[in-house]
Structure 1
Amino acid sequence: MDAIRVKRAAPDDLGALGEMVDRIYRPQRPPGEGMPREFPHLFDPRNADNLFFVEDRGRPVSMVGVLKQIGMVPGAAVPVASIGSVATVPEYRGRHLASRILQVVFDTMRDEQQALCLISGDRDLYLRQGAIAVGQMETVFIELTPSMPRLSYPLRQVPAHLRASYASRLIRLYRQEPYRFMRTTAHMEVLLNALWFQRPGFDQQLFVIGPEDHPVAYVVVYVSARSIDQGTIMEWAGDRAAIVQALPYVMTHMNIRHLQFHIHEADFSMHRLADEKGWTLVPGPLQGTVKVVNEDVLRSAYRAWLAEYEPWPREEGDWGDVTARYFGRNKGQYNLPLMLTDDLNYI
């Protein structure tokens, strides 16, 4: 192929890009019917300009997908470029195409006033470009016990044809979460109809807790055919105590004995409840890797936080990597808070 030229997609390119990504990540589905439907906002025509790719003889051979979002933490709204669907067709691997696209993406996101790039994964490809694992969350592991707590609220598993109708009710709960991404009601409605609820080999369900018109919490749980006794909560929001009460019933409904989910390090209410239950908590970084691409935008977004930290980190002199400087946990680093990066936030 000729010299590498990275292009930004137009709506007419989405079909070919979706088929290419499906051949790599969803070979069991008809080309174009997997990833584009699982990640409807990423492959939306209105987001086409944020899909970066290289083509050869008129067909895409490598791409990087970007979805611009606003990360919400108390006191800060942070422009974040979520990156995923990084793919190169097998016969073009080893030519550093994805590396070249990522370089263009990082430069473009800097110029387009994105503070951070949040990358779905920790491949060497990302680490070589300066992305690192930062932040802190705990993975909670639960085992079903014979004793079942008394439920304070009704619990219902929402059938597929009704999921989208719950969007306006569930979005209110999601928006009360302090560490999340900005999401509209329309955004939520699309997510509740996304293909990830219908992925082959996955049983994924939405459970709503509380009165039908005014729910107090919800959880999205999936079980993989590869681990039929283990469930994972893909997203949850709302009243912590109600969720803790409901989880044994959810596990019974899903016919699983083990369940895992994530807790943000600053979610003190859920930490307290987890401790009371004796659940196993395993600390680790947030999902994926992070790279600061525009330090000025980052400092502006976190100005309220930084006002409380100045000037002590500057006394260290050599700060090292800029991402670690702001989000690392060592002496002389800010340890700024990040949003929780569970799977739905990439969509």
Structure 2
Amino acid sequence: MPEPAHTPRGATEADRESLRALVGEVFRPSLMDEYPQLYHAETLGNCRVVEVGGDIVSHVGMTVQDAAIYGCRVRVACIGGVATHPDHRGNGYAGACLDDAIRVARESGTDIMMISGDRSLYRRAGCRRVGEEYSPSLSGEALAALDHSDLTLREATVADIPTLRALHHGEPLHWKRDPDTWRRAMECGWVMNRKSRFVIVEAYGEAAGYVIVQDISDGETWPQVSEYAGDRARMLRALAAYAADTEAPGMRWHVSGHDAFGLAVARAAGARWPESTTSGTYVVLDLPQLLGRMRPYLTEYLGGADALRVEPIGDGYRFDLDGATHHVPDIGCAAHFVFGTREDRPTAAPTSGPLADAFPIPALFYGLNYV
């Protein structure tokens, strides 16, 4: 029989040990220590919880921060650590916590929500897999053919945070991370659910880029790069240097479909590059607001700043550009339209004209913002 309704609320410091017990049972005891960006004192209140009988029995973790897409600043909520105690499942607590997280995110002016998973709970909220991405891999034999004699790799330390921030901010897609975010990630050493190494790539005696490489887990043989920054040809040669130093039999990484040079470098080296989407699922929380923030970029393709109008129609939206209209029937299709996808689309995106030129825009990849 379902339990009485319990209203979700923000987590507090008084909830910390009960919350640790919950996520420790559902996931693993070390989870809270692996994600300090989610559970540190300044952001704990973003996490939504349900309390029953003095215990936290359901939880949706959330961080909110800014990012940049082609110079346009957007606000992003990241969701993770979604858990309900086995004895309290079937009462709708996780759904209530997710709904409350969406409410809080919208009220704080958030444009996009990224969730580190894909299941019916998220699909019902409009989340979809987005991005026209690739997941290249290169064997150790192919990497050995790349000359990396001009590069030096070294472990990054917290003293390198200003350098790491500058390199990351040089990317066309990047997160607006403060030094504490970098420090917490480096001190715990976990990125995208794996123990990871932060490596500076030096050329001509200066830092030219970085790679964050996950340790190999059970059943895997090739390390995965979870984040990188810098010239793409140099970064690929840095992976060759890393493989040589660690005797890795191959390397895997992620490339945005908008990174034409990154793809060209991977192809030229003989990489396999299967199609993929960005990690997890996306939902657009406020489409007109997001497109307003992306206006400087979109204006290059659409003419005047006010040329594109977006109007809510039922559960979806209508795009109107100089009398030419395009309708997306629901919020999930809106995410597909804006960011592209490898999933089947219920409605076709424009294949020609300025809307097809401007969309999709590139989707953010988590890197060390994964929760």
The TM-score, its normalising length taken from structure 1, stands at 0.88
Residue among 234, 250, 254 paired with 1:262: 254
Please report how far the alpha carbon of residue 311 of structure 1 lies from its aligned counterpart in structure 2 after TM superposition. 4.5
* Structure 2: distance between partners of 1:305 and 1:211: 33
Aligned to 2:328: 319
Q: Secondary structure at the match of 1:173?
A: helix
Residue among 169, 178, 187 paired with 2:181: 187
Residue among 13, 16, 21 paired with 1:11: 13
Q: How big is each residue's C-alpha offset from its partner over 1:49-108, in whole Å with a ceiling of 9 and x where there is no partner?
A: 201010110110011011001121114111111111111111112222111111121122
* Structure 2: distance between partners of 1:292 and 1:256: 39
Q: How do residues 166-177 of structure 1 correspond to structure 2 at under 5 angstroms?
A: 166-177=160-171
Let me know the Cα RMSD of the aligned residues. 2.4
Q: How big is each residue's C-alpha offset from its partner over 1:291-335, in whole Å with a ceiling of 9 and x where there is no partner?
A: 111234213211223433345943345321233343346424763
Aligned to 1:25: 27
Q: Which runs of 5+ in 2 are unaligned?
A: 310-318, 342-347
Work out the percentage of aligned pairs sharing the same amino acid: 24
* Structure 2: distance between partners of 1:225 and 1:174: 26
Q: Secondary structure at the match of 1:18?
A: helix
Q: Secondary structure at the match of 2:275?
A: strand
- Contact kept in structure 2, 1:66 and 1:81, CA below 8 Å: yes
Q: Which amino acid aligns with 2:131?
A: G
Please report how far the alpha carbon of residue 145 of structure 1 lies from its aligned counterpart in structure 2 after TM superposition. 0.7
Residue among 134, 143, 156 paired with 2:153: 156
- Contact kept in structure 1, 2:195 and 2:214, CA below 8 Å: yes
Aligned to 2:312: none
Q: 1:244 to 1:294 in 2, by over 3 A?
A: same
Residue among 96, 99, 102 paired with 1:103: 99
Aligned to 2:315: none
Q: Secondary structure at the match of 1:100?
A: helix
* Structure 2: distance between partners of 1:340 and 1:292: 13
Aligned to 2:313: none
Please report how far the alpha carbon of residue 203 of structure 1 lies from its aligned counterpart in structure 2 after TM superposition. 5.9
Q: Which runs of 5+ in 1 are unaligned?
A: none
* Structure 1: distance between partners of 2:202 and 2:370: 27
Q: How big is each residue's C-alpha offset from its partner over 1:6-38, in whole Å with a ceiling of 9 and x where there is no partner?
A: 111123323321331122111xx4xxxx22221
Q: 1:224 to 1:270 in 2, by over 3 A?
A: same
* Structure 2: distance between partners of 1:17 and 1:271: 42
Q: 1:81 to 1:203 in 2, by over 3 A?
A: closer
- Contact kept in structure 2, 1:140 and 1:262, CA below 8 Å: yes
- Contact kept in structure 2, 1:141 and 1:279, CA below 8 Å: yes
Aligned to 1:130: 126
Aligned to 2:201: 209
Aligned to 1:139: 135
Is structure 2 residue 190 aligned with structure 1 residue 196?
A: yes
* Structure 2: distance between partners of 1:3 and 1:115: 29
The TM-score, its normalising length taken from structure 2, stands at 0.83
* Structure 1: distance between partners of 2:146 and 2:285: 47
Please report how far the alpha carbon of residue 174 of structure 1 lies from its aligned counterpart in structure 2 after TM superposition. 0.9
Q: How big is each residue's C-alpha offset from its partner over 1:257-305, in whole Å with a ceiling of 9 and x where there is no partner?
A: 1221101112122111112112111122211111111234213211223
Q: Which amino acid aligns with 2:56?
A: P
Aligned residues: 335
Please report how far the alpha carbon of residue 140 of structure 1 lies from its aligned counterpart in structure 2 after TM superposition. 0.6
Aligned to 1:60: 56
